């Protein structure tokens, strides 16, 4: 379950495919399949006792923070800022999962 990378991915906060790149998921899929693989990654990096992998959460938080910066002129900016501000890791991951396909600037 551990997310083990030698370096920290530098997110631009432009779109959710950055998460696929960071997590080693091939981008050679149609959007629906790629999104399913990213969501699968998130779901399989939550332990049986509902504890998300800290490295995955850190990646998600860094991506969402960057996304908020890029999306601040969008009418839905408050939604992304609210997502960014969720402190409870499992709740944060669950909402990232649901909102994944909407994360693009």
Average of pLDDT values for 55-68? 96
Task: Say what the pLDDT of residue 37 is.
Answer: 96
For the chain, the structural domain boundaries read 17-102
3-state class (DSSP) for residue 73: coil
Q: Who contacts 86 (Cβ-Cβ below 8 Å, separation ≥6)? A: 92, 95
Q: What is the pLDDT of residues 20-30, one digit of tens each?
A: 999 999 999 99
Confidence (pTM): 0.88
Residues of the chain with pLDDT > 70, as a percent, come to 92
Task: Say what the pLDDT of residue 7 is.
Answer: 62
Place of tokens 């409870």: 88
Residue 95 pLDDT greater than 50, yes or no? yes
């Amino acid at each position: 379950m551990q997310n083990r990378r030698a370096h920290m991915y530098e997110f631009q906060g432009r779109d959710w495919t950055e998460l696929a790149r960071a997590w080693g998921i091939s981008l050679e899929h149609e959007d629906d399949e790629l999104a399913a693989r990213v969501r699968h990654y998130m779901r399989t990096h939550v332990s049986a006792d509902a504890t998300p992998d800290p490295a995955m959460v850190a990646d998600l938080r860094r991506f969402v923070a960057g996304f908020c910066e890029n999306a601040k002129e969008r009418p839905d900016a408050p939604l992304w800022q609210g997502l960014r501000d969720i402190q409870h890791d499992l709740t944060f991951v669950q909402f990232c999962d649901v909102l994944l396909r909407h994360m693009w600037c």
